[in-house]
Amino acid sequence: MTKYQGKELKIKSQAEAEKVIAELGNVLVVKDLTQEETSVKPRFPLTTSNLLREASNYFGFSANRTMKLAQTLFESVNIGKKTTGLITYHRTDSIQLSPIFINQAKQFINDNFGPEYVGKAYVQKETALVQGAHEAIRPIDINIKPDDVREYLNLSQYKIYKLIYVRALASIMTAKKLIVHKSFFEAQSYEAEASSNEVIFPGHSVLDSWLSTSKKEGYQALDYQIGDSVKVKDYLIEDVSTKPPARYSEGQLVKKMEETGIGRPSTYAVTIEKLREHYIQVEKGLIYPLPQGELVDEKLREYIKRTINVEYTAKMEKYLDKIETKEVDKLEVLKEFNDNFVEELKNALEHMPTQKTIEVKDEVCPKCGKALVYRNGKFGSFIGCSDFPSCNYIKPKEVVIPKNAKVCPKCGQGHLITRQGKYGSFLGCSRFPDCDYMEPFKKRKYFRKS
Q: Is 158 a catalytic residue?
A: no
Omega of the bond prior to 396 within 30 degrees of 0, cis?
A: no
Label each residue of the chain as H, E or C: CCEECCEECCCCCHHHHHHHHHHHCCEEEEEEEEEEEEEECCCCCECHHHHHHHHHHHHCCCHHHHHHHHHHHHHCEEECCEEECCECCCCCCCCCCCHHHHHHHHHHHHHHCCHHHECCCCCCCCCCCCCCCCCCECECCCCCCHHHCHHHCCHHHHHHHHHHHHHHHHCCECCEEEEEEEEEEEECCEEEEEEEEEEEECHHHHHHHHHCCCCCCCCCCCCCCCCCEEECCCCCCCCCCCCCCCCCCHHHHHHHHHHHCCCCCCCHHHHHHHHHHHCEEEECCEEEECHHHHHHHHHHHHHCCCCCCHHHHHHHHHHHHHHHCCCCCHHHHHHHHHHHHHHHHHHHHHHCCCCCCCEEEEEECCCCCCEEEEEEECCEEEEEECCCCCCCCECCCCCCCCCCCCECCCCCCCEEEEEEECCEEEEEECCCCCCCCEECCCCCCCCCCC
The distance of Cα 433 from the centroid of its chain, to the nearest Å, equals 35
Instruction: Give the count of beta carbons closer than 10 Å to the beta carbon of residue 233.
Output: 6
Q: Which of 4, 89, 303, 374 is catalytic?
A: 89
- Beta bridge partners, 418, equal 427
Q: Which of the residues in the chain have pLDDT under 50? A: 128-129, 214, 443-450
Of 339, 384, 344, nearest to 366 by C-alpha is: 384
- What sign does the dihedral 41-47-48-49 (CA atoms) show? negative
- Beta bridge partners, 328, equal none
CB neighbours of 375 closer than 8 A, spacing ≥ 6?
381, 382, 383, 384, 388
272 and 262 Cβ atoms separated by less than 8 Å: no
CATH of domain 3-41+175-231: 2.70.20.10
* Amino acid at the residue 179: I
Measured between alpha carbons, how far is 346 from 215 in angstroms, rounded to an integer? Answer: 58
Q: pTM score, two decimals?
A: 0.72
Q: Express each pLDDT in 222-266 by its tens digit.
A: 778 899 898 888 888 877 766 778 899 999 999 999 998 888 888
Measured between alpha carbons, how far is 374 from 128 in angstroms, rounded to an integer? Answer: 50
Measured between alpha carbons, how far is 164 from 171 in angstroms, rounded to an integer? Answer: 11
Measured between alpha carbons, how far is 16 from 436 in angstroms, rounded to an integer? Answer: 59
Q: Note the pLDDT of residue 449.
A: 37
Distances (CA, A) of 162 to 82, 110, 156, 325: 20, 20, 10, 36
395 and 384 Cβ atoms separated by less than 8 Å: yes
> Domain residue spans in the chain?
3-41+175-231, 301-354, 359-439
Omega of the bond prior to 389 within 30 degrees of 0, cis?
A: yes
